[in-house]
Amino acid sequence: MSIKETIASLITDESAAHKRLIQYVTGQLSQGRSLAAIVEDPYVTNRLNPMERRALVEEPEIVAAAQAESLEEIRTRLEELASS
């Protein structure tokens, strides 16, 4: 399965835990934290592997909340972690 296919399958996760992570990330973004710092936060890293974190930054709510954040930089870094 390609990275894009894996990410697409992870984005469709509708579990309560996944929704809480989305709420956590968007809440942290609204408090002024950078998305790069949030995806490295222990709350996130203890619950998601690098590929799951990579998929998390594709969630529409997070993309909208991270308007000014450089998503491409984060995507690349997490893909590198997922590949190692």
Choice between 77 and 23, residue whose per-residue pLDDT is larger: 23
**Containing structural domain, residue 70:** 3-83
pTM for the full predicted model: 0.70
Task: Give the model's pLDDT for residue 15.
Answer: 81
| DSSP secondary structure of 12-57 | T---HHHHHHHHHHHHHHHTT--HHHHHTSHHHHTT--HHHHHHHT
**What backbone phi and psi angles, to 5 degrees, belong to 26?**
-65, -35
pLDDT tens column, 27-78 = 999 888 889 999 999 999 999 999 899 989 989 899 888 876 667 667 788 8
Residue 84: pLDDT above 90? no
Domain count of the fold of the chain = 1
pLDDT tens column, 7-20 = 666 666 678 888 89
